[in-house]
Amino acid sequence: MKRSSLHDRIRQDIERRIMSGAWEAGHRIPPEHALMSDYGCSRMTVNKAISALVERGLIERRKRAGSFVAAPKVHRAAIDIPDIAAEIEDQGGRHELDMLDRTERAAGPRDRELLAMGSGPVLALTCLHRADGLPFAMEERLINLMIVPLAREIDFILESPGRWLLGHVPWTDARHRITAIAATPVIAGHLGLREDAPCLSIERWTWRTAERITYVRQIYPGDHALTARFIA
């Protein structure tokens, strides 16, 4: 088995702290001389690790101040699509999540297309969100484990996938696609609808620089309302 280089190990250690939430947005990364001492390496090795994290959008360098954990950018969209747990709680409801399927697998052709990735592992989740015990929405999500390896360890029953990703994984861009669909037998069964009932499908792709972090499709009954926000 090929051993990782020292700069890769430094990068992975820092990334793990960021992804776990131990180092939150705005946290100052230890200065290069401290990392050199901790790892017994040269400034060039430390600089290479930090530069890789800057390129991936996890760290930002500030002139004469140091390196800091980058804050997730706020996506200013005309349609405001919060995470489902927050949506239910904002309406005064109690959010619960049923994990219908959780599978880690090598990315197949469809996974690679949706995440614009090559070979590598993905985490596929199928969830049912409930509001006060009643079906509210289905969620089908893919997470690129090459970018977010910590997702393997998260219990998404305790914290929903959308909430955890929004709170822990810095991102730089997102794209939405909203379509009307007819409920398949599987969708109808989970949402308590008749087969072919109208549903609203909201798809979202999230990037960090050039890398796609996640793809999600959220499926609501057709009477679900979206919130429109217009920014001058």
What whole-number distance in Å separates Cα of residue 127 and Cα of residue 83? 13
Taking the domains of the chain in order of start, what are their residue ranges? 6-69, 79-228
pLDDT in tens, 63-111: 888 999 887 654 444 455 568 888 899 889 999 999 999 999 999 999 9
**Is pLDDT at 218 greater than 80 in this prediction?**
yes
According to the model, what pLDDT value does residue 232 have?
Answer: 43
CATH topology of domain 79-228: Chorismate lyase (3.40.1410)
pTM, two decimals, is: 0.70
Contacts of 46 (CB under 8 A, 6+ apart): 7, 10, 32, 35, 36, 39
Q: Note the residue count of the chain.
A: 232
168-173: average pLDDT: 73
% of residues, the chain, pLDDT over 70: 87
Q: Are 87 and 79 in contact (CB under 8 A)?
A: no
What whole-number distance in Å separates Cα of residue 85 and Cα of residue 97? 9
What whole-number distance in Å separates Cα of residue 150 and Cα of residue 90? 28
pLDDT in tens, 16-50: 787 766 788 788 999 999 999 999 999 999 999 99
161-168: average pLDDT: 85
What whole-number distance in Å separates Cα of residue 158 and Cα of residue 152? 14
According to the model, what pLDDT value does residue 30 have?
Answer: 93
What whole-number distance in Å separates Cα of residue 144 and Cα of residue 165? 12
162-189: average pLDDT: 86
* Domain at 6-69: CATH code: 1.10.10.10
